[in-house]
A and B are shown apart, each in its own frame.
Chain A
Amino acid sequence: MKHNTRFRTFSTTLVWMWLGIFVLIPSFLLFATSLLVQGDSELVRLQPTLHNYFRLLDLNYLRVFLRSGLLAGTCTLGCLILGYPFSYLLARMPDRYKGFLLLLVIIPFWTSSLIRSYAIVMILKTHGILNSFLIWVGMIKVPMQFLYTQSATLIGLIYTLLPLMILPLYASIEKLDFRLIDAARDLGARKYQIFFRVLLPLTLPGILAGCILVLLPAMTLFYIPDLLGGAKTILIGNIIQNQFLGARDWPMGATISVALTLLMGMVLFVYWRFYHQHRHEYAYEQN
């Protein structure tokens, strides 16, 4: 009996201790900070208040949340659309090449994302590679404006976050029993039927994982949008950074973070419920 639980105790204790010290305590400190008030010479004044949360109800903040959400959502969708077929094709490759091809996906991302973003800048600049190429082949006469636009920001974000979508998708697709697909095909199912009724439900965990891993950073990344988009529009990441650094209003920064966490939590909760419901439906249909 004692032997049976030794590993379990070790595992749960280790996880608890690590997360407790490095996540629970700092999170608690953060939440406590959000209840305080900005100080002048000290960072915070020990004066508990809910004032910061009321400040959040400003229309402008809601607009920023919406804008960031839209950008993050579009980016996630883009990553999903680009990444799903890719992960699928990868998972169907012969075993010999799978690992290698997967590594090939990751390797570019061991180069600093900043440098790669600058490379994208080099490509999209007024006299940059893309424009020079287009002028050279005669498609345009005058350089087009690619940089400092919403599209540039989107491209940069998708580029940076794509592997976060590919990896969990791949892990999920790879474990599928592909005979299921062959069986479906034998039974006369058409491509889209196979996709929607077999593939999609079975790989839903991977899709969700990928979406979570992409959506959340996409909400808070600010450097790449600033670099490629020209920093004219403000996103949540900018606001939080401004609070901590520029305005030195740590309590407000903490408040926005807490609010963001709660909001994302609600989104995830909805996702989770939908997934569980769907699973039940699928199981029911199977019977």
Chain B
Amino acid sequence: MLFKNLISLVLLSVLLCPFNTTFAADNVLNIYTWAGYLSDAVISQFETETGIHVNVATYVNNEVLYAKLKANPDSGYDIIMPSSYFISRMRKQALIQKIDHSKLAHYRNINPAFLSKEHDPDNEYSIPYLWNGTGIAYNIRYQAEKSVNTWQDFWLPRYKNQLLLIDDTRECFSMALIALGYSVNDQDPDHIKAAFEKLKALMPNVKLFNMDAQRSIYLDEDITIGMGLNGDIFLASAQNSYLRFIYPKEGFVITLDSIAIPVEAKHVANAHLFIDFVLRPEIAKKIALESGFSTPNRAAKELLPLKVRTNPILYPDAETLKKGQFQTDVGEAAPLYEKYFERLKLEE
């Protein structure tokens, strides 16, 4: 009796289950992106205009995106948004395909300062979407205003057990490399070792490594000084006026998140339609405002409210921007960075 019930239950569930026939349907677009980068409003507008049904899934960092794509290139996604140094790696490993610029009427809207970088010369494989800069965030209720100007300041004894560092190998090492005067894409093992030693010396000052939302940490004053992403601090400072953000004098990292199309994508035409759509000034402006980050789209920037587009946190002047370094793939040195970062925490 029980057995029969069990069988019928199973059969019933099987009948109710969604069969993935829409997977191969033509009017679909599967997007895989960061949370907060694509709002429902923008998606609805795209769907209404083109009649294409959009599925959006979100990932939490570049590494998992890469692992998933590598283990199964036929992932089903048509649009992905890796950061620049993953673009160069994916390009070299033939995981992404060339983008047809002739289909992108609005390509000219992009600020040339963000084009043709080392990770993708001529932007054959990626189209810039949003960028963010890593700088120093601090709270003037606890730290004297203008007391911090350079990455080197982090090493001062007065910051013992106070700092927040971003829990990312490249970010932390970039900070040390810049403080030592090297490039953030340095592949020289001696330089990397020096950066490791420098970071090791910093450890007593570190209170935590953070890989999730910094906004609430700075906003709620759990941390009063540390590394920060410009967009996060901009949004947090709107609710806590004591927060300040600076781009250190020695230089800083610019992370450029760009759109790419995986090699096995099934809806390439739809993907191009989408890319051109988000390059439109009004759309790019919406995306920038809703995500809180900076847009590389010149035309869109002009449409932003005055307070936003003149804000030095989100849109620093050209002088400052020049000191920003774009990350690219460090090739053979990548495992070395990872090993040192692991050792950093191991020898705690």
The residues of A with any CB-CB pair to B shorter than 8 Å are 38, 40-41, 43, 60, 63-64, 125-128, 147-148, 226-227, 230-234, 238-239, 242, 244-249
User: Is B334 touching A127 in the complex (CB atoms < 8 A)?
Assistant: no
At the interface, yes or no: B14 with Cβ under 8 Å from chain A? no
User: Is B212 touching A227 in the complex (CB atoms < 8 A)?
Assistant: yes
Q: What is the minimal beta-carbon distance from B69 to any residue of chain A, in angstroms? A: 11
Closest 3 CB pairs of A and B: A230-B208, A245-B63, A247-B338
**Which one of A60, A239, A242, A244 has the greatest number of beta carbons of chain B within 10 Å?**
A242
Interface of chain A: mostly helix, strand, loop or mixed = loop
Taken residue by residue from 45 to 81, chain B's Cβ proximity to chain A (1 for < 8 Å, 0 otherwise) reads as 0000000000000000101101100110000000000
Q: Using a CB-CB cutoff of 8 Å, which residues 298-348 of chain B contact chain A?
A: 332, 334-335, 338-339, 341-343, 345-348
Chain B residue at minimal CB-CB distance from A38: B335
User: Is B67 touching A245 in the complex (CB atoms < 8 A)?
Assistant: yes
In the bound complex, residues from chain A placing their C-beta under 8 Å from that of B334 are 247-248
User: Is A249 touching B335 in the complex (CB atoms < 8 A)?
Assistant: yes
Q: Evaluate whether A234 and B67 lie within 8 angstroms (CB atoms) in the complex, with A41-B92, A41-B93, A227-B212 already known.
A: no
User: Is A148 touching B208 in the complex (CB atoms < 8 A)?
Assistant: yes
In the bound complex, residues from chain B placing their C-beta under 8 Å from that of A233 are 345, 348
**Which one of A64, A127, A227, A245 has the greatest number of beta carbons of chain B within 10 Å?**
A245
User: Is A231 touching B167 in the complex (CB atoms < 8 A)?
Assistant: yes
At the interface, yes or no: B210 with Cβ under 8 Å from chain A? yes
Contact partner of A126 among B222, B341, B342, CB < 8 A? B222
Q: What is the minimal beta-carbon distance from A181 to any residue of chain B, in angstroms? A: 33
Q: What is the minimal beta-carbon distance from A229 to any residue of chain B, in angstroms? A: 8
At the interface, yes or no: B264 with Cβ under 8 Å from chain A? no
Complex CA–CA separation, A232 to B342 (angstroms): 11
Q: What is the minimal beta-carbon distance from A153 to any residue of chain B, in angstroms? A: 12
Complex CA–CA separation, A168 to B219 (angstroms): 43
Q: Evaluate whether A231 and B211 lie within 8 angstroms (CB atoms) in the complex, with A125-B222, A126-B222, A247-B339 already known.
A: yes
In the bound complex, residues from chain A placing their C-beta under 8 Å from that of B290 are none
User: Is A234 touching B345 in the complex (CB atoms < 8 A)?
Assistant: yes
Known: A231-B209, A233-B345. 12 other contacts (CB 8 A): A60-B347, A126-B222, A127-B222, A226-B167, A230-B208, A230-B209, A233-B348, A234-B348, A239-B342, A245-B66, A247-B334, A247-B338
In the bound complex, residues from chain B placing their C-beta under 8 Å from that of A231 are 167, 208-211, 345
Contact partner of B346 among A60, A127, A147, A249, CB < 8 A? A60
User: Is B220 touching A60 in the complex (CB atoms < 8 A)?
Assistant: no
Interface of chain B: mostly helix, strand, loop or mixed = helix
Q: What is the minimal beta-carbon distance from B132 to any residue of chain A, in angstroms? A: 20
List, sorted by A's number, 12 A–B pairs whose CB atoms are closer than 8 Å: A43-B71, A127-B221, A148-B208, A226-B167, A232-B348, A245-B61, A245-B63, A245-B66, A246-B341, A248-B66, A248-B67, A248-B334
Chain A residue at minimal CB-CB distance from B332: A40
Complex CA–CA separation, A43 to B71 (angstroms): 8
User: Is A64 touching B207 in the complex (CB atoms < 8 A)?
Assistant: no
The residues of B with any CB-CB pair to A shorter than 8 Å are 61, 63-64, 66-67, 70-71, 92-93, 167, 169, 206-212, 220-222, 332, 334-335, 338-339, 341-343, 345-348
Q: Evaluate whether A127 and B207 lie within 8 angstroms (CB atoms) in the complex, with A43-B70, A233-B348, A247-B338 already known.
A: no
Complex CA–CA separation, A218 to B209 (angstroms): 21
User: Is A234 touching B208 in the complex (CB atoms < 8 A)?
Assistant: no
In the bound complex, residues from chain B placing their C-beta under 8 Å from that of A227 are 212
Complex CA–CA separation, A233 to B212 (angstroms): 17
In the bound complex, residues from chain A placing their C-beta under 8 Å from that of B210 are 230-231
In the bound complex, residues from chain B placing their C-beta under 8 Å from that of A249 are 335, 338
In the bound complex, residues from chain A placing their C-beta under 8 Å from that of B221 are 126-127
Complex CA–CA separation, A242 to B67 (angstroms): 11
User: Is A60 touching B345 in the complex (CB atoms < 8 A)?
Assistant: no
Q: Evaluate whether A148 and B220 lie within 8 angstroms (CB atoms) in the complex, with A234-B342, A234-B348 already known.
A: no
Complex CA–CA separation, A147 to B217 (angstroms): 11
In the bound complex, residues from chain A placing their C-beta under 8 Å from that of B207 are 148, 230, 232
Complex CA–CA separation, A38 to B332 (angstroms): 12
Q: What is the minimal beta-carbon distance from B212 to any residue of chain A, in angstroms? A: 7
Q: Evaluate whether A242 and B220 lie within 8 angstroms (CB atoms) in the complex, with A60-B346, A226-B211, A232-B348 already known.
A: no
Q: What is the minimal beta-carbon distance from A243 to any residue of chain B, in angstroms? A: 9
User: Is B220 touching A127 in the complex (CB atoms < 8 A)?
Assistant: yes
Complex CA–CA separation, A231 to B332 (angstroms): 27
Complex CA–CA separation, A227 to B66 (angstroms): 23
Chain A residue at minimal CB-CB distance from B213: A118
In the bound complex, residues from chain A placing their C-beta under 8 Å from that of B64 are 245
In the bound complex, residues from chain B placing their C-beta under 8 Å from that of A64 are 346
In the bound complex, residues from chain A placing their C-beta under 8 Å from that of B211 are 226, 231
Contact partner of B208 among A38, A41, A60, A232, CB < 8 A? A232
Chain B residue at minimal CB-CB distance from A147: B222
